[in-house]
Amino acid sequence: MNHSKFAVCITNKNCDDLQVWKLYRVLQDSSSAIDDYLRVVDDSGEDYLYPANHFVVVEFSDLVEQRLLAAASVI
């Protein structure tokens, strides 16, 4: 299974649209990773590039991941 990534925001310095301690979905973007950015789906439902050091990437079991993605699609 191709795992989704999730990350917890640990700082929102210069990124007022992020909420500290909130869990965000991370989309794979190898070109942005080279420059130390993550492509994150924010509260608007759109994905944007944010500095990677604003987040801690976390991994979940398949079941938890499925439930998180299902919950996100309802919101």
pLDDT tens for residues 11-66? Answer: 999 988 899 999 999 998 888 777 899 999 988 889 999 999 999 999 888 899 88
Flag whether the pTM goes above 0.85. no
Question: CA-based angle 18:23:26, to the nearest 5?
Answer: 85
DSSP state of 44: T
Q: What is the CATH number of the domain that holds 17?
A: 2.30.30
* Total domains present in the chain: 1
